[in-house]
Structure 1
Amino acid sequence: MTIVQVIQAIWAVSALALIVLVLLHSPKGDGIGGIGGQAQLFTSTKSAETALNRITWVFSVIFIGFTVVLSAGWLGK
């Protein structure tokens, strides 16, 4: 197994994890009440939502980083 195949496997797993994590997020749209930040007055940020946001960001950075590396061909074949 070459380094390219390992990175492709990690890239595919991060893509699937990113899909699942985005689907786990709670909807934030409050219709017309969301305009101007009015909806933020009555909501509290929970630690689970914060952790989910951080994990989603980590997987998105991994996915985008490996996408750039794989598409640029920096590793050779």
Structure 2
Amino acid sequence: MLITILGWLWAATAVLLIISVLLHSPKGDGMGGLASSGSSMFTSARSAENTLNRISWTLLALFMGLAVVLSAGWLN
């Protein structure tokens, strides 16, 4: 029962981690910078980026911790 709940929590953490990484603003212009006039159309607040970083690192720590607990067999 506990292993099943932790397994679902681990999967949910993985999905949320993927979403939080995809929400980060790109550091460079990439291929879109070739056609633009040098200014980015999308800007983000620095505090929002810091908050997103904290969320991503917390989800990563939770994901890795759950992966260790579930794979080590401590709950059998």
TM-score (norm 2): 0.75
Unaligned runs of 5+ in 1: 32-44
Q: Give the share of equivalent positions with the same residue, in percent.
A: 53
Q: Which amino acid aligns with 1:48?
A: A
More helix by share: 1
Q: 2:68 maps to what in 1?
A: 68
Aligned positions, number: 62
- Three-state SS of the structure 2 residue aligned to 1:25 is coil
**Structure 1 moving runs of 4+ over 2 Å:** none
| Distance of 2:60 and 2:48 partners within structure 1 | 18
Measured on the aligned residues, the alpha-carbon RMSD in Å equals 1.5
TM-score (norm 1): 0.74
